[in-house]
Amino acid sequence: MTEFDEDLLARQEARMLCRRAGQAQQTLETLPQEKLDAIVRAMAAAFEGECASLAKMAVEETGFGNTQDKTEKNRFACQDVLRAIEPMKTVGILREDREKSLWEIGVSVGVIGAIVPSTNPTSTVCYKALIAVKAGCAIVFSPHPKAAKCSCAAAQILARAAEAAGAPEGTIACLTKNKMAGTQEMMSAPEVKLLLATGGPGMVRAAYSSGKPAIGVGAGNGPAFIHSSADVPKAVADIIRSKTFDNGTVCASEQSIIVERSMETAVLAEAEKQGIYLMPKDQAGALAKLLFKPGGGLDPQVVGKTAIYLAEKAGFSVPKNTKVLMAREQEAGPTRPYSMEKLCPVLAFFVMDSEDAVLSKAVEVLRHEGSGHTFAIHARDEEVIRRFALKIPVSRFLVNAPAALGGIGAATGLFPALTLGCGAIGGSSSSNNISPLDLINIRRVAWGLKEEPHIPQAPDSELVELLTQKILERLG
């Protein structure tokens, strides 16, 4: 069969699944909150029973990350997300304002087209399906070709559970023909009303260029500032925990450490003690060639690999306890690979002469890549925290927390999410951790006020003419 035929089959499949989703949507949007909640609970329970097997499948198919952390991510996607959305009101009358004579009614946006990344291929499917159905939306997934089997398996588990609990057939679907033509057809399908895009920059740009409303996310490239008031051992432990979680595949994870010169010795000593290996210049150069392709862009072969594996591939050895590789850096830009997002346990290390220089460098790094995403600070000094929070261009400003887990809401009070909006500064339509409330519209019902507002009568033309003559006479 020709490539052209495969594209046609992919388009036909996308068309068919979107039409079924459109039919399902007609029923879904009539269901009351209680029924939607029951369906969501059934979906989460079914997925929870398969967390470990889906994690294993994802690692085997993609080669990214590790089974233990992917299992934890899957549990986060069904357990934490369910707990957060259960009390939410998303459909029907959400609020009545007696004083202003207003009602607010939640209305589903309709069928959602969802792009799934290869780094979180099963947890993202669960998370997006739960928030979609909670909002009364059908959802059609387009998985990454590198993770199509595990993503579709996750979608099938959720679909079966949803239908058994009373959801119409076609509420949850997944494209099985791994072709861009199918994804394009899904994004342009008339039934699809909103795109929820998590993936590479190219796919997110395609979603925003589709002509449909879209919620997408930009690249993460978050710096971590260890201030002189920080608990240094805890700060280093948090960074290692975050940067090694699923071997660095969470986009909110730290990409660099920034310190003032007065803190350099203490931070490096603690880093070495806990398993961060500071590479000499020649080793850092060898690894940089491995990380990024000659034409630019992170090489997929390094994504989600361990520090020891990366060192071996780059041609040097490291201590057996090495958890993270780190390279000195001072600048940010396209010719400085360590200043960019690295979806593996590799960090840049910036040493600045002052707190002002730290602030400037953090902003420089984020403006190069990662604007609007995530920043982490480790400090006890609240004034410093306040000063940086007012200046750093991110949507998630994390304090004394591992960024990967803090950014997604697993270790902070943020909404638990695997789609992290970056706001306008990051090219996103939202700065939220995306929740069901981002997938509904609000219909406002407004009564006329009891007291009619006073609207003065316009003067008649003869009176205007007479007044004009009087004014001219006085001026003359």
- Please tell me the distance from the alpha carbon of residue 9 to that of residue 2, in angstroms, as a whole number: 11
- Separation of alpha carbons 130 and 418, rounded Å: 12
Q: Angle at which helices 33-48 and 148-164 pack, to 10 degrees?
A: 130
3-state class (DSSP) for residue 351: strand
Contact criterion met (CB below 8 Å) for 191 and 370: no
207 vs 215: CA distance, rounded Å: 8
Q: What is the 3-state secondary structure (H, E, C) of 112-123?
A: EEEECCCCCCCH
For residues 398 and 406, is the Cβ–Cβ distance under 8 A? Answer: yes
Q: How far apart are CA 24 and CA 92, in angstroms?
A: 19
Residues 70/122, Cβ–Cβ less than 8 Å:
yes
pLDDT at 297: 84
Q: What is the rounded CA–CA span in Å between residue 47 and residue 53?
A: 10
Whose CA is closest to 273, among 321, 238, 216? 321
- Residue 70: which residues within 8 A CB-CB, separation 6 or more? 54, 55, 58, 59, 122, 123, 246
Q: In a structure prediction context, what are the per-residue pLDDT tens digits for the chain, which is 476 residues long?
A: 565 688 999 999 999 999 999 999 999 999 999 999 999 999 999 999 999 999 999 999 999 999 999 999 999 999 999 999 999 999 999 999 999 999 999 999 999 999 999 999 999 999 999 999 999 999 999 999 999 999 999 999 999 999 999 999 999 999 999 889 999 999 999 999 999 998 777 777 788 888 899 998 878 999 999 999 999 999 999 999 999 999 999 999 999 999 999 999 999 999 999 999 999 999 999 999 999 988 778 999 999 999 999 999 999 999 999 999 999 999 999 999 999 999 999 999 999 999 999 999 999 999 999 999 999 999 999 999 999 999 999 999 999 999 999 999 999 999 999 999 999 998 889 999 999 999 999 999 999 987 665 555 655 666 656 666 766 677 66
Task: Report helix, strand or coil for 337.
Answer: helix
Rounded Cα distance, 222 and 330, in Å: 15
DSSP per-residue letters across 362-380: HHHHHHHTTTEEEEEEE-S
Is there a contact between 115 and 164 (Cβ–Cβ < 8 Å)? no
Enumerate long-range contacts of 92-97, CB under 8 Å, 24 or more apart.
Answer: 92/32, 92/33, 94/442
Q: Which residue has the tokens 């199509």?
A: 148
Identify the CATH homologous superfamily for domain 3-217+433-443.
Aldehyde Dehydrogenase; Chain A, domain 1 (3.40.605.10)
For 385-447, give the DSSP string. HHHHHTTS-EEEEEESS-HHHHHTTSSSSSPP-S-B--TGGGT-S--SB--GGGGEEEEEEEP
Phi, psi of 24 (to 5 degrees): -60, -35
Return d(Cα 375, Cα 306) in angstroms, integer. 23
Residue 103 host element (H or E): strand 102-108
CATH architecture of structural domain 222-408: 3-Layer(aba) Sandwich (3.40)
Contact 428, 216 (CB under 8 A): yes
Q: How far apart are CA 23 and CA 20, in angstroms?
A: 5
| Per-residue model confidence (pLDDT) at position 460 | 63
Which positions are catalytic? 251
Q: Could you tell me the two tokens for 150?
A: 């595990």
Residues whose CB falls within 8 Å of the CB of residue 206, separated by 6 or more in sequence, listed in order: 183, 184, 187, 197
Over the Cα atoms of the chain, what is R_g? 26
Question: Same fold for the domain at 3-217+433-443 and the one at 222-408?
Answer: no
Count of CB atoms situated within 10 Å of the CB of 26: 11
Amino acid 397: pLDDT:
98
Amino acid identity, residue 136? G
Listed by start position, the domains of the chain span: 3-217+433-443, 222-408
Cα 266 from chain centroid (whole Å) = 33
Residues near 283 by Cβ (< 8 Å), separated by ≥ 6?
Answer: 311, 314, 316
Are the CB atoms for 291 and 301 separated by under 8 Å?
no
What's the token pair of residue 279? Answer: 């590479």
Q: For the whole model, what pTM was predicted?
A: 0.92
Check residue 288 and give its pLDDT. 95
> What would the DSSP string read from start to end of 122-183?
THHHHHHHHHHHHTT--EEEE--GGGHHHHHHHHHHHHHHHHHTTPPTTSEEE--S--HHHH
> By the 8 A CB rule, do 306 and 285 touch?
no
Alpha carbons 429 and 408: distance in angstroms, whole number:
18
